[in-house]
Amino acid sequence: MAVTLKFGDKVTVADVRKLHDMEDVVFDREWFEKTDEMNRDMYYMFRDLARSDSDLEIIKSRHLRYDITRIPPGMLGSEYIKTVGHYHPQVPGTDVSYPEIYQVLEGSATYLLQKVEPGEEEIVLDVAVIKAEKGDLVLVPPGYGHVTINSSENTLEMANWVCGDFSSFYEPIKRLSGAAYFLLKDGFAKNPLYRNIPPIRYTAPLSSEEFGLDPGESMYELIHDADRLRFLTAPQEFMGFLAGVL
Ligand SMILES: O=P(O)(O)OC[C@H]1O[C@](O)(CO)[C@@H](O)[C@@H]1O
């Protein structure tokens, strides 16, 4: 049966990532080879949301996208459930890649952000981990790939604002069998396929006030103040701000 989300006056059917979609990025190969759950649902992505047609018009005219992702708790063998992970392309005509902003709506999340050497993606320049709770905001700056992990016992629901004009790319993370670290029951383990992996930098989520939001207020409301989201579509104009968020 289709999994749906009611948002405003619209019902959206989820795009579902299944276990077989995670094939390239699962740490626990022994478990993966033996499991008979290839069709198990991993997480649900409700894309291109808007509370109303007039909101959708604003969102489209700003070249934005608002999604909600639901990740139930679970294990991939010895590893906590996570997203596949991806990078964003560069804004055409610049050398700056598109950023993204997340907000935790329910549960808690561990965001792993990694910066690698362009063209030599196995060389890691920086890894930041941000633990976020309900209401927290996490900004993925230009140049960072990202994976979201649910290492809790509860369902994680999170929202993202991102530019709607590009497709993410998955090849480097899939080729390297995942991100630079895996989150296992015993803690983070380095991915041996990467080189020069630095220690994890633990950083804090952003405060809602920075975006003119009240504590705990949904960042969807930024649609009424959409200039504040311009850094997502024209990040090259906001490098000072974006360089300081991690
Ligand atoms: O594309 P992945 O790595 O499976 O991650 C899914 C997440 O990424 C997004 O596409 C936004 O970057 C969301 O829709 C979803 O939360």
Hey, where are the domains in the chain? Answer: 4-243
Ligand 1: centre distance to CA 157 (Å): 12
Do the beta carbons of residue 152 and residue 116 sit within 8 Å? no
Buried b (16+ CB within 10 A) or exposed e, 54-81: ebbeebeebebbbbbbbbeebebbebbb
Ligand 1: centre distance to CA 17 (Å): 10
DSSP string of 29-40, one letter each residue: HHHHHH-S-TT-
End-to-end CA distance of the chain: 40
Ligand 1: centre distance to CA 78 (Å): 22
Going residue by residue through the chain (246 aa), what tens digit of pLDDT does each one get?
899 999 998 999 999 999 999 999 999 999 999 999 999 999 999 999 999 999 999 999 999 999 999 999 999 999 999 999 999 999 999 999 999 999 999 999 999 999 999 999 999 999 999 999 999 999 999 999 999 999 999 999 999 999 999 999 999 999 999 999 999 999 999 999 999 999 999 999 998 888 889 988 999 999 999 999 999 999 999 999 999 999
Ligand 1: centre distance to CA 224 (Å): 24
Greatest C-alpha distance within the chain: 50
- Indicate whether residue 100 lines ligand 1 (CB < 6 A): yes
Residue nearest to atom 6 of ligand 1 (CA): 83
| Of the options 3.90.550.10, 3.40.50.280, 2.60.120.10, 3.30.70.420, the CATH number for the domain spanning 4-243 | 2.60.120.10
- Indicate whether residue 179 lines ligand 1 (CB < 6 A): no
- Indicate whether residue 101 lines ligand 1 (CB < 6 A): no
Ligand 1: centre distance to CA 140 (Å): 12
CA-CA-CA-CA torsion for 97, 163, 14, 219, nearest 10 degrees? 110
pLDDT at 208: 86
- Indicate whether residue 168 lines ligand 1 (CB < 6 A): yes
